[in-house]
Amino acid sequence: MEVGTYSKRLLPWLVAVAFFMESLDTTILNTAVPAIAGALKVAPLSMKAVLSSYTLSLAVFIPISGWMADRFGTRRVFASAIGLFTLGSALCGISSDIHVLVACRILQGCGGAMMVPVGRLTIVRTFAKSELVRAMSAVAIPGLVGPMLGPVAGGLIVGYFHWRVIFFVNIPIGLIGLWMVYRHLPDYREESDPLDVVGLILFGSGVGLLSYVLEVFGEHTLSSREILALLALAVSLLAGYGLHSSKTAFPLLSLALFRIRTFRSAVSGSFFTRLGIGGIPFILPLLYQVGLGFTPIQSGLMMMPQAIAAMSLKATMPGILARFGYRNVLVLNTLILGAQILLFATIGSTTPVWLIAGQLFCFGFFSSLQYTSMNTLVYADVTEEQTSKASSIASTMQQMSISFGVASASLVTAFFIPDRFHANGQEMIHGIHRAFYVLGGLTILSTAIFRELRGADGASASQHEALPHAE
């Protein structure tokens, strides 16, 4: 398909704006959690469902994005994704009930799951290999800027406007994006393999049910017997998917890739590490605002050192990996991250702001090094034909772990708070400190996964990173 010069020049920026919207939405709500919880008359910790439902929706629908684009065309699918995301944002903005808000966040996630993979696919099919790195770099930048601006933007909106504006700002951007897509986005179609409908049902329902169990556990809305029954059903569905994928010619997610040691360590290590560190962006704003009395704006600004460190020091990371190797970096770095989370438990009402910012800056560097290491190790030993399947699995597991990480952090914090609905500042600080101990311990334990690696593993890893996602 012939693409005009102007449209070709505009394409990376069009995809970049969509990526910015999707990545911004993963963090912009964090600093607004106490305000939204107050408006909806729920406990702040109950807001975990609003945050995790979005990333869980991404996890479920990312695997079918490529098939959708091949089957219906990149322009139609990309436009539908922006439309769904914008509609979901508008509905979130008018929601007056937490359950409705969660449903609308899921709709947002359905759109977000299609935007970045389909946009990346369009760029790959439009640009020659000699032009691809520059085009992909332009798209990747918003993935780093979005999470940095998200907490600050959320704090400013809550501080000076209304929390609903957080969702309404997406509407004009989405409408302009729709117009631009229909004018300038190329429409590619390809012959596609049959969609694994059975696999989608088994995997999607299993993951969704497991997430629901994590959400309601500790809410005392279901009995222990009902919780165990739902948990058993979720595990059975996921086990059923594992059995199904081994027998079908075109599985939704190709689990055979887990036979590759570097891929297995990178993906499973990423999943379990994020269970410890994935909930930190959720509970830190609660510590700042509910525990220490910071304003939403101050809370948002206090999240910036982490993102600044991740961006400013990212260029040093390939050199670190080349010098020390993936095994040494991942084992040691995971231990350091666990220790840093334990140190967060020392933050109290008398802790100087500069010290908190320093801790966040260090955490930002080491967490970014962790993500870079795991994301690049995924591709170390997969063939060119397996790259797309490996990317789908890695992206899906990443979103699942972010969702489960938020739910786990909230669950652990709630366990240590006697009355989470009426917790005062000191009780919130106490509960979050105990949560840091548990999450730090979980992170340290996850180093066991990386010990499977050998010293030379990853030496041939491609230095291009899959498009970053909110990290």
pLDDT in tens, 62-71: 888 878 888 8
pLDDT tens digits, 264-298? 898 898 888 988 888 888 888 888 888 888 888 88
pLDDT tens digits, 311-358? 777 677 778 877 888 888 899 999 999 999 999 999 888 889 999 999
- pLDDT at residue 437, as a whole number: 92
pLDDT tens digits, 234-251? 899 999 998 998 888 888
- pLDDT at residue 447, as a whole number: 92
- pLDDT at residue 459, as a whole number: 65
Judge whether 341 and 436 are in contact, CB under 8 Å: yes
- Rounded to two decimals, the pTM is 0.80
Q: What is the DSSP letter of 451?
A: T
What are the backbone dihedrals phi and psi of residue 461, each rounded to the nearest 5 degrees, phi first? Answer: -60, 135
Rounded Cα–Cα distance for residues 132 and 137 (Å) = 8
Rounded Cα–Cα distance for residues 72 and 75 (Å) = 8
pLDDT tens digits, 406-441? 888 888 887 777 655 556 667 778 888 888 999 999
Judge whether 411 and 280 are in contact, CB under 8 Å: no
Alpha helices for 94-223 (secondary structure H): 98-126, 129-160, 165-168, 170-184, 197-216
pLDDT tens digits, 103-140? 999 999 888 888 877 877 787 777 776 666 666 666 66
Burial class (CB in 10 A: 0-12, 13-18, 19+), 308: middle
Residues 6+ apart with CB under 8 A from 161: none
CB atoms within 10 A of CB 445: 15
- pLDDT at residue 415, as a whole number: 78
- pLDDT at residue 163, as a whole number: 87
Using a pLDDT cut of 70, give the percent of the chain over it.
88
Judge whether 119 and 15 are in contact, CB under 8 Å: yes
Residues 6+ apart with CB under 8 A from 379: 387, 390, 461, 462, 466
